[in-house]
C-alpha cells in the first residue's frame, strides 16, 4: 500500500503547512492544498490543518517592506494576517462544502492541563460536527520567551493531543536527505524505521531550505509524533496531491508499534 493510500484510509490526519507554502506568491497554492484536504475528508478521515503564515501574510497589509523584528509589530502582523489567511482557506473550503473552525494556541495552553483538556475537547467537538479545525500559534499574544518555536512542534503536539494516526509535514523541500539538499551527492531518505537514530546523516538547520525551523525541527517533530504511534510523512506542499495519487515522494517515519507499549 502506498503512503497516499494509507493517508486516504486513515482515521485522523493532522496536516501542517509552512509559511513559505501559503504566503506571498505561494498563497496561490492554497486551493490545491485545500483540494487535497477535501480529498482526505471525503475519504472519511477527520482532518486537522496546522497552518503557519499569519505574520508573513499580514506584513504586506501593514505597508512595511520586510518582516518586523520587534514583537509588537509581529503581533500586529499576525492579527491582520490570521484573519486574511483563514478567509483564504475558507473560500477554497467552501467550494468543497467544508467549514473551517479557527483554533489559536500558545505553548502555555499545551503545558497547562486545564487548557490542554479544553483544547482537546474543542477540537474533538469540531471534528464530530464535521468542521475542519485550522490551528496556528496565537502569535498575537505569544512572547519570545514562551512559544512553540516552530509549528512543526505544534503539529506534533496536536497529533499527540488528538491521537491522530497520521501526521503530514509540508514545506518547500520534498524530503529528508542524507545531507542538506544543496550539497552535491545528497540522497533522499524514503523511509525511517521507528527508533532509527539516522546515524551519519547530516541534518540541516534553518539554512537548509526547510523554512524557519529547518530539517532538524521536522525530524524532532516527526519523532515526537511517532513516539505516540503516528506515522509521519515529510514532503513538499506542491507534491502532496501526487502523493495521494500514489507517487513515492517524501520521507516516511514509522510510528511506534503497538507492541512496543507492551514490552
Cell 496565537: give the residue: 138
User: Count of alpha carbons within 13 Å of 115, Cβ hemisphere only?
Assistant: 10
Query: Which of 169, 188, 192 minimizes the C-alpha distance to 240?
Result: 169
- 16 in a labelled binding site: yes
Contact assessment for residue 109 and residue 116, using Cβ atoms and an 8 Å cutoff: yes
**174 is annotated as contributing to ligand binding:** no
Q: Is 51 annotated as a binding residue?
A: no
Ligand-binding annotation for 109, yes or no, is no
Strands 231-236 and 251-253: antiparallel
Backbone torsion region of residue 246, taken as left when φ is above 0, otherwise alpha when ψ lies between -120 and 50, otherwise beta: left
Distance CA 203, CA 218 (A): 10
Question: Is 171 labelled as part of a ligand binding site?
Answer: yes
CB 25 within 8 A of CB 175: no
25 annotated ligand binder:
no
Residue stretches of the annotated binding site: 16, 52, 139, 151, 171-172
Residue stretches of the annotated binding site for substrate: 52, 139, 151
Residue stretches of the annotated binding site for ATP: 16, 171-172
Amino acid at each position: 500500500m502506498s503512503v497516499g493510500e494509507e493517508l486516504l484510509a486513515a482515521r485522523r490526519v493532522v496536516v501542517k503547512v509552512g509559511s513559505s507554502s501559503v504566503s506571498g506568491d505561494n498563497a496561490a497554492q492554497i486551493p490545491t492544498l485545500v483540494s487535497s484536504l477535501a480529498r482526505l475528508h471525503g475519504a472519511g478521515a477527520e482532518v486537522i490543518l496546522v497552518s503557519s503564515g499569519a505574520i508573513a501574510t499580514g506584513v504586506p497589509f501593514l505597508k512595511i517592506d520586510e518582516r518586523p523584528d520587534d514583537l509588537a509589530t509581529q503581533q500586529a502582523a499576525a492579527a491582520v494576517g490570521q484573519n486574511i489567511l483563514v478567509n483564504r482557506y475558507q473560500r477554497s473550503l467552501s467550494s468543497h462544502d467544508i467549514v473551517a473552525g479557527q483554533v489559536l494556541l500558545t505553548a502555555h495552553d499545551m503545558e497547562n492541563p486545564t487548557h490542554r483538556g479544553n483544547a482537546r475537547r474543542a477540537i474533538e467537538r469540531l471534528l464530530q460536527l464535521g468542521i475542519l479545525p485550522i490551528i496556528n500559534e496565537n502569535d498575537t499574544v505569544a512572547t519570545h520567551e514562551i512559544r512553540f518555536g516552530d509549528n512543526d512542534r505544534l503539529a506534533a503536539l496536536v497529533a499527540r493531543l488528538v491521537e491522530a494516526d497520521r501526521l503530514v509535514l509540508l514545506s518547500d523541500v520534498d524530503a529528508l536527505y542524507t545531507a542538506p539538499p544543496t550539497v552535491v551527492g545528497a540522497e533522499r531518505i524514503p523511509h525511517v524505521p521507528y527508533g532509527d537514530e539516522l546515524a551519519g546523516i547530516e541534518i540541516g538547520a534553518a539554512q537548509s531550505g526547510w523554512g524557519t525551523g529547518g530539517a532538524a525541527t521536522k525530524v524532532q517533530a516527526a519523532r515526537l509524533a511517532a513516539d505516540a504511534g503516528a506515522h509521519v510523512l515529510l514532503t513538499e506542499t506542491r507534491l502532496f496531491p501526487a502523493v495521494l495519487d500514489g507517487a513515492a515522494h517524501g520521507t516516511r517515519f514509522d510510528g511506534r508499534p503497538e507492541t512496543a507499549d507492551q514490552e
